Structure 1
Amino acid sequence: MSASGSTAGAGGNGRTAESTSGGSVFRTGRRGSRAAFAAVAVGSVSLLLAACGEGAGAASGGWQPTKPIEYIAPANTGGGWDTLARSSARVMDEADLVSRPMRVVNKPGAGGAIGWSYVAKHQKDPHKLFVTSPPILLVPLAGESDQTYRDFTPVARLNTEPLAYVVKANSPFKTFEDLAAKLKTDPGKVSVAGGSGPGSLDHVGLAGAVQAAGADASKVKYVPFDGGGEALTSLLGGHTDVAVAGGSEVQALVRSGDVRALAVSSEKRSPVLPDTPTLTESGIDYVFDIWRGVMAPKGLTGEQVAYYEKAFRKMVEQDAWKKESRKLGWTDAFLGSEEFGKFLDEQNKEYTGILTEVGLRK
């Protein structure tokens, strides 16, 4: 059973105790001055507790934050982590799902490791959260971070997005099967652009597909760039033969006819690229999702984890969040804390195997 089974955070903002006690004054007014006085006294105490930020927590028997929540995006503004943090913080605040403001703080550097190091220094602090995705597993596996996912507390997985494998419109590769055949016979002749370094998300998503297709992933010429935009520019300029990028990053170029998507890495077809087959449909038994979620420092109590898990569970049900997700090409894939933790263990095992295969495991 996940932490969501706890009663933590049952109150939203401390108003329930106030309105209930306030109503009791009028309902008991006919029962005599002593009853009325007692009701007023209870109401006053409830109001005082609420003013101190303790009313809802005391009324529900659960934990609530007592100060603003520092919500870390371990990257610069404008990137995927920043977009996720700001979008979710806005929906959470507007829907009044947390009792204190969500304040996004950017801590870029080292592929996320700077932000992770900051959070790791605040063990047991329930007023720190950070957004995350596969690099929390990949960067440590490549030996580039002192922290691993086990140094933090899983809160919730929110959504996924597939990778897309794309070529220029005039490419001789018409299907992913065509590409796979070439990679089996002459992998060194095919250059593949990705928006992150060796051993990172794009590289692993490529290597896993290549392995599943029966080719030697270690021999594929992977060309790293600083972001999906640069990788796609390289493809369009004829400097590389194939590019790997998020489905949402390529959808405009696919619609314009500048590139052709050979396949997507998700289990089912992507809503942003509905006409593009999955790898599975292309005969490649491989699924790779760019999942995104939220984690917290190590050492939080069950009630603290449950409070945030419940808030994010409600967030993904909001119309504002669904609208934002459609715009960004995200697919809802919510997992609670316990399930998210198990998912991370499984992903870590899979990524370890792939990085070992391509010689990048440290």
Structure 2
Amino acid sequence: MLTQFITRNRVTLLATLMASAMSIGSVQAKVDEIHFLVPGGAGGGWDSTARGTGEALSKSELVDKVSYENMSGGGGGKAIAYLIKTAEQSQDTLMVNSTPIVIRSLSKVFPQSFRDLTPVAATIGDYAAFVVAKDSPYQSFNELAEAYKKNPRSVSVAGGSSRGGMDHLVAALAFKAAGGEPRRVKYLAYDAGGKAMAGLLSGETQVLSTGLSEALSLAEAGEVRILAMTGETRSSAAPNVPTLKELGYDASFVNWRGFFAAPGISDEQADEFASVLEKMYQTNEWTTVRDRYGWTEIYKPRKEFEAFLQEQEKEMGNLMKELGFLN
């Protein structure tokens, strides 16, 4: 009886210790370090996504140490090539990217695609917006569309992506919906959204095609006016900005943003990255960052993210063919 009692209590003690260890692990469930690689310059959507995410992860103590590196060039291709080349030394690196990785791969801006990396998770969505300087003669998107239809070359559009890139495609999509010729968009390409915004403010261009989140701070400061955005409904972050649809144009678009790890990373570490990003959504620190930029949450972990990328590749390829950017 005594032996059975001791054995029984040892089993109970072992089970209790295991349960406690699992509980502690689930509470701690944190990553030691993340180095965020940004494939563009400061001030753009990639940069704000990486730094906003890092801020939330660090302040909520889900990650002990975060660091950032901006690597412009090749429409994002330089950073992708670097992450692939340095895969063994970049196990703690997450590269931020978005719809352009699909578009630029299709248009052969760079030879790689998302298949050459390890998709970790899509995290947010950002609507596109059409922005003018505060002293612009265009008071509405309808006026801008009418001017474009009369003379497409009179309207120059700035964007933080290359020709045939996302900002260009969104502008072409909007003007097509308005009855204009999408292939005639006079597009000025800048390296990242911050530089494109500077081009607008300096008078180099009449309108900026960009992410809604990038335009909000300057609009609130009175530097620019946002004529329209591409959501299905108005954004709570910009309730006074009309959608293209409510203005009578059958066009909508949302740009996902998310993170990729180096190729060859273990499933365990990739899952750990995806898990810590999911836990971030439950923190007050994330709510502060999300609301600051007006982001929409669209969390898609690993396999779901990869399937989503494959579907978007198909859809964007069809759109690019329709608009004349692919044969």
Compute the TM-score of the two structures, normalised by the length of structure 1.
0.72
CA separation of 1:102/1:190 partners in 2, compared to 1, >3 Å: closer, same or farther?
closer
AA in 2 matched with 1:182 = A
Alignment correspondent of 2:167 = 202
Q: What is the CA–CA distance in structure 2 between the aligned matches of 1:82 and 1:151, rounded to whole Å? A: 22
1:163 aligns with 2:163: no
Shift of 1:361: 3.4
Question: Per the alignment, in what secondary structure is the counterpart of residue 268 of structure 1?
Answer: coil
Shift of 1:148: 0.6
Shift of 1:124: 12
Q: What is the CA–CA distance in structure 2 between the aligned matches of 1:72 and 1:258, rounded to whole Å? A: 30
Question: Per the alignment, in what secondary structure is the counterpart of residue 240 of structure 1?
Answer: coil
Q: What is the CA–CA distance in structure 2 between the aligned matches of 1:151 and 1:320, rounded to whole Å? A: 32
Which structure 2 residues correspond to residues 317-328 of structure 1 after superposition, within 5 A?
317-328=282-293
Which structure 2 residues correspond to residues 21-32 of structure 1 after superposition, within 5 A?
none
Shift of 1:161: 1.8
AA in 2 matched with 1:268 = T
Deviations 1:17-57 (A, max 9, x none): xxxxxxxxxxxxxx779978x979x98xx9xxxxxxxx87x
AA in 2 matched with 1:91 = A
Question: Per the alignment, in what secondary structure is the counterpart of residue 288 of structure 2?
Answer: helix
Shift of 1:314: 0.9
Alignment correspondent of 2:79 = 115
Stretch of structure 1 that moved more, 262-271 or 225-234:
225-234
Contact 2:171 2:185 in 1 (8 A): no
Stretch of structure 1 that moved more, 82-91 or 278-287:
82-91
Shift of 1:264: 0.5
Q: What is the CA–CA distance in structure 2 between the aligned matches of 1:34 and 1:267, rounded to whole Å? A: 62
Alignment correspondent of 1:137 = 102
CA separation of 1:92/1:189 partners in 2, compared to 1, >3 Å: closer, same or farther?
closer
AA in 2 matched with 1:309 = A
Alignment equivalent of 2:276, drawn from 311, 330, 334:
311
1:240 aligns with 2:205: yes
Alignment correspondent of 1:19 = none
Q: What is the CA–CA distance in structure 1 between the aligned matches of 2:30 and 2:279, rounded to whole Å? A: 16
Alignment correspondent of 1:337 = 302
Bigger CA radius of gyration: 1
Stretch of structure 1 that moved more, 153-162 or 106-115:
106-115
Give the root-mean-square deviation of aligned CA atoms: 3.7
Shift of 1:101: 4.6
Alignment equivalent of 1:181, drawn from 131, 134, 146:
146
Alignment correspondent of 1:350 = 315
Q: Percent identity?
A: 36
1:288 aligns with 2:253: yes
Shift of 1:293: 0.6
CA separation of 1:349/1:182 partners in 2, compared to 1, >3 Å: closer, same or farther?
farther
Contact 1:133 1:293 in 2 (8 A): yes
Contact 2:56 2:289 in 1 (8 A): no
Alignment correspondent of 2:177 = 212
Alignment correspondent of 1:221 = 186
CA separation of 1:89/1:243 partners in 2, compared to 1, >3 Å: closer, same or farther?
closer
Contact 2:44 2:193 in 1 (8 A): no
Shift of 1:274: 1.4
Q: What is the CA–CA distance in structure 2 between the aligned matches of 1:245 and 1:193, rounded to whole Å? A: 8
AA in 2 matched with 1:295 = F
Shift of 1:267: 2.2
Shift of 1:182: 3.2
Structure 1: 5+ residue runs without aligned partners?
A: 1-30, 47-54
Number of residue equivalences: 315
Structure 2: 5+ residue runs without aligned partners?
A: none
